[in-house]
Amino acid sequence: MSTPTPMSTRGEELGRMREDLRRALKKPAEQRHWAMVINTKRCTACYACVVACMAENGSPPGVAYRRVGEVESGEYPQVARTFMPVNCMQCDNPPCMKAAPAGAITKRPDGIVAVDYDKLKGKDVFERVSKACPYGAFSYDDGRFYTKETPALQAYEKAPTYEYGKPWVRTNGKPPVGTARKCHFCVQRLEAGMLPACVTTCDGGVSFFGDLNDAESLVSKLLRAHGSMTMQAALKTEPRVHYLVDDAQAADSLKACLACHR
């Protein structure tokens, strides 16, 4: 399954997903079903998606919305190593929401699980929601900077970021400092008609994004054409991140990955 679609280049896949996005944004939010599809067979563990995510969302030390795990499976000489990009699954039945203070985590009509930084504050609250999430999606923003006293804080850490469509400046010590943070499918980019940063940055074309309520979208076609799995399906959290799997060996490797959650 080196090529999940008949398309020849990543450029064509990205063009197709941007068209899908434009079509979806014309519909009312409650008619969109945002989802991510990941083809681990294309991943080389280069971490470009992790860096792009951190740049887009102004992630400080200790905060990462996207991780790439490495899992070995099988027995010598039949061993395999699978690279496993993971971010918040935007669950349709999110246990984090039940563990959070009222209104601090909500499920938007388009399916994104959103955090209200003004309500999801404090280390104790972070620990509660983090424990509730089976996928290790949360990080705690403890107010550090990469460039503090190096000798000077650099412009990129002073600049505002625009998560959830609002400007956030961490230098004032206000939220998102002191909050639990996680992936939101780059909601600020989606609403400006752009795909998530991890999707557009990856040269390998690992991640796909779109509207599963649109039968013609690339993500819908991929899930119809290939087998797929979700992480920890038995927990019934109903993740919106789907991992493609077509053959028995890939299924075994992925099962080893998908069984692990941190």
Residues 236-255 that bind ligand SF4 (CB under 6 A): 237
Q: Is 45 in the site for ligand SF4 (CB under 6 A)?
A: yes
Quick check: 179 and 58 in contact, CB under 8 A? Answer: no
- CA nearest neighbour of 216 among 19, 68, 84: 19
Helix (H) or strand (E) holding 130: helix 123-132
Residues 14-43 that bind ligand SF4 (CB under 6 A): 43
Q: Is 4 in the site for ligand SF4 (CB under 6 A)?
A: no
When binding is defined by CB under 6 A, the residue of 71, 96, 112, 177 that contacts ligand SF4 is: 96
Helix (H) or strand (E) holding 123: helix 123-132
φ, ψ of residue 40 to 5 degrees: the values are: -65, -25
* CA 18 from centroid of its chain's CA atoms: 18
> What letter would DSSP give residue 179?
B
Closer Cβ to ligand SF4, 126 or 168, answer by number: 126
List 83's β-bridge partners, or say none. 70
Closer Cβ to ligand SF4, 45 or 223, answer by number: 45
Q: How far lies 197's CA from each of 52, 56, 108, 145, 248, in Å?
A: 6, 7, 20, 21, 31
Q: Is 86 in the site for ligand SF4 (CB under 6 A)?
A: no
Segment contacting ligand SF4 by CB under 6 A, of 14-22, 93-101, 208-216, 244-252:
93-101
Quick check: 180 and 194 in contact, CB under 8 A? Answer: no
CB of 137 to ligand SF4, least distance (A): 4
CB of 217 to ligand SF4, least distance (A): 20
CB of 171 to ligand SF4, least distance (A): 27
Q: How far lies 66's CA from each of 102, 153, 252, in Å?
A: 26, 24, 23
CB of 153 to ligand SF4, least distance (A): 28
CB of 197 to ligand SF4, least distance (A): 10
Coil, strand or helix: which one is 180?
Answer: strand
Q: Is 91 in the site for ligand SF4 (CB under 6 A)?
A: yes
Closer Cβ to ligand SF4, 5 or 171, answer by number: 5
When binding is defined by CB under 6 A, the residue of 57, 90, 200, 253 that contacts ligand SF4 is: 90
When binding is defined by CB under 6 A, the residue of 36, 49, 86, 112 that contacts ligand SF4 is: 49
